[in-house]
Amino acid sequence: MTALDAGARFMPATDVLPGFGLAAALVAGTIEVASGRLTVGGLLVFLAYLSSLTTPVRSLARLSSAVARGTASRDRIAELARLPLLQLASGAPPAVRPARAAVPLPRPGRPGPAISMERVSYEHRTGHPVLSSASLDVPPGAFVCLTGPSGSGKSTLLSLLVRLVDPHLGRITVDGRDIRCIPLPALRDLITLVPQDPWLHTGTIAENIGYGRPGATSAQIRAAAERGGVAGFAMALPDGLDTQVGEHGRQLSGGQQRRVAVARALLRETPVLLLDEPTTGLDPAAETRLIDDLLASTTGKTVLLVTHQPQLTARASQVVRVDGGKIVPAVLARSA
């Protein structure tokens, strides 16, 4: 707000004042030339020097806005640095508390584990609940589709399952064990999340897929690329899977980035897979292929998938709707 205020105050002045200055110099210089006290060449040189001052003056005005933004960033960093100390002093729990007992959860075999949410409530801001006493039971190895309007809390629900945040009320269990009692590394060895906007690192397509499992072989990465629908577009590129994706994956389209993220998740081979709109940005043919590959690759796993695509909801074992902070069974027309 301070930066916007400074810009609103000073930027118009830096545009208007140099114009008035040039106009005044031109009028005064014309009078001096007409009286013979100044040559035309001298006037032109003076105007050229005066014009060269305009850019530095505007830069100084922009500097005030940059200083205000830098000050705000400094204050935020200091606030984050003080947060653990403030929580310790006040006795308030952190957003995500580590498990007290570092007892690893045994890796369940197929089918994937059952997941249960019991009267879970969560709000990003006080007084604005995203989920309110929401309950959900996912049987072992089930394929569940989550639907609902934008902003209804579907992505938040997935974040709760991997403990990016903790619920304010209620509890979430995996095979009957509260996930807050499971060490975070063990929990995240069980569950893989593919967010709606996946993060890709600078490097090749193969390296970004292999990031899901350090030490994975080239054959495993190629197999994951096939199952995630990456091979279809990668083979059309000059370097195939060795194609550089650029900073944050910007050399790839949004749909291609999602397919790389799906392949990375499939490479991890975790018993639970959470997918947030994985088919967004894909053409119908690519969407159909990815759906078929996903269903074949996740047989026996517990899968929760956020989607609005009828092709996916028609093939789910359970469809639920997230709306108004509640989770209710969805009534959808199923295709034959």
DSSP output for 75-112: HHHHHHHHHHHHHHHHTPPPSSPPPSS--PPP---SSP
Over residues 267-287, mean pLDDT: 82
Over residues 90-114, mean pLDDT: 56
Q: How many CA atoms lie within 13 A of 335 on its CB side?
A: 8
Confidence of residue 336 (pLDDT cuts 50, 70, 90): very low
CA distance 139 to 275: 17
For position 93, what pLDDT does the model report? 47
What does the longest C-alpha to C-alpha distance in the chain come to? 99
Is it true that domain 115-329 has CATH number 3.40.50.300? yes
Spacing of C-alpha 173 from chain mean position:
25
Structure tokens at 303: 């899968």
Helix (H, G, I), strand (E, B) or coil at 24: helix
Q: ∠ CA 195-203-279 to the nearest 5 degrees?
A: 30
Spacing of C-alpha 20 from chain mean position:
48
* R_g of the chain computed on alpha carbons: 29
Q: ∠ CA 120-124-129 to the nearest 5 degrees?
A: 50
Amino acid at residue number 240: G
Confidence of residue 99 (pLDDT cuts 50, 70, 90): low
CA distance 205 to 253: 13
Which helix (DSSP H) or strand (DSSP E) does residue 323 occupy? Answer: strand 318-323
For position 102, what pLDDT does the model report? 46
Cα 257 to Cα 135, 159, 195, 309, distances in angstroms:
32, 20, 11, 19
Give the other-Cβ count within 10 Å of 213's Cβ. 16
Residue 207 or 287, more confident: 207
Confidence of residue 82 (pLDDT cuts 50, 70, 90): confident
- 150, 190, 186, 169: which is closest to 277 by C-alpha? 150
Confidence of residue 25 (pLDDT cuts 50, 70, 90): confident
Q: How far apart are the first and last CA of the chain?
A: 56
Order the strands of the 272-276 sheet from edge to edge.
Answer: 191-194, 272-276, 302-306, 143-147, 318-323, 326-329
Give the other-Cβ count within 10 Å of 198's Cβ. 20
Place of tokens 């940059």: 66
pLDDT at residue 207 greater than cutoff 70:
yes
Provide the β-strand partners of residue 144: 304, 318
Structural contact between residues 191 and 270, judged by C-beta atoms closer than 8 angstroms: yes
Helix (H, G, I), strand (E, B) or coil at 191: strand
Over residues 189-215, mean pLDDT: 88
Total number of residues shown for the chain = 336
Residues of each domain in the chain carrying CATH 3.40.50.300: 115-329
For position 333, what pLDDT does the model report? 42
For position 105, what pLDDT does the model report? 47
